[in-house]
Amino acid sequence: MKFSIVHTFDAPPSAVAEAMLDPEMPAFLLKNHPLMEEAIPQERIEEGTVVRRKVRYRPRPIIKKVGPKEIPPEMLAFVEESSFDKQTFKGSFVNAAVRDGVKKHLVNKGTMSLKELPGGKTERTIEGTLEIVNVSFLLRPLTAIAERIIRSEAEKLLDGEAKCVGEFLAQKKGSA
C-alpha cells in the first residue's frame, strides 16, 4: 500500500529540518507524544549537510490481544534508519521492525521532503510504502485489512510527531 502524508509547519524548511533532526527531539517526543512509549537514539552521523541516524521507537500498543493471545508491546518496536540532506531538504527512511517475526513480514520505507510555502511556512510530505509480505496464500485476503489498520496507526503517530515538532519549534523560538 502506498501512502502520502502532508503536514504544515509555521517555520521555514531549515528550522523544521533542524528541529526534526535535533538530538533532543527523541526525548521531547517521549515526553510529549501520547502514543510513544520509547524513543532511543542509537546512532547519528553528520557528513556535510547529510544527517544519517538510527532511532528505536516503540509506540503504545493499539491492540492488547488477538483472541486469547496477548500482544507484547515489543511487537510494535521498530528502528528508523534515515538519511536527510539539510541543503536539499530531502531524505529517505526505512522503518525496520525489531522482532524478527514481524520484520520478515512488514516492509515500511519511503521519502520525506520539505517545501517552502509563502509566509515562512513549510510543507512536509512523507511518501512511501507499507506492505505485509511473505504470508501464506490463506492469509493474503487479510493483509489489505491489516495494512489499512497499520497505515491508520502510523498516520496517528506521524500526526502526533508533527504536533511535537511544532511545539519543539515554538519552544526553541521562545527561548531564543
Q: Which domains does the chain have, with CATH numbers?
A: 2-175 (3.30.530.20)
Cβ contact 97:77 at 8 Å: yes
- Report pLDDT for 168: 96
Question: Does 60 or 47 have the greater pLDDT score?
Answer: 47
- Report pLDDT for 137: 58
Q: Work out the burial of residue 16: count CB atoms within 10 Å of its CB; fewer than 13 is exposed, 13-18 middle, 19 or more buried.
A: buried
Q: Comparing C-alpha atoms, which of 21, 8, 42 is closest to residue 166?
A: 8
What mean pLDDT value characterizes the chain? Answer: 88
Is pLDDT of 117 > 80? Answer: yes
3-state secondary structure of 25: helix
Question: Does 118 or 97 have the greater pLDDT score?
Answer: 118
Question: Does 80 or 138 have the greater pLDDT score?
Answer: 80
Question: Does 93 or 71 have the greater pLDDT score?
Answer: 93
- Report pLDDT for 132: 75
The mean pLDDT of 157-170, rounded to a whole number, is 95
Rounded percentage of the chain residues whose pLDDT exceeds 70: 89
The confidence band for 66, taking pLDDT boundaries of 50, 70 and 90, is low
Cβ contact 81:60 at 8 Å: no
Q: Work out the burial of residue 144: count CB atoms within 10 Å of its CB; fewer than 13 is exposed, 13-18 middle, 19 or more buried.
A: exposed
Is pLDDT of 138 > 60? Answer: no
- Report pLDDT for 50: 98
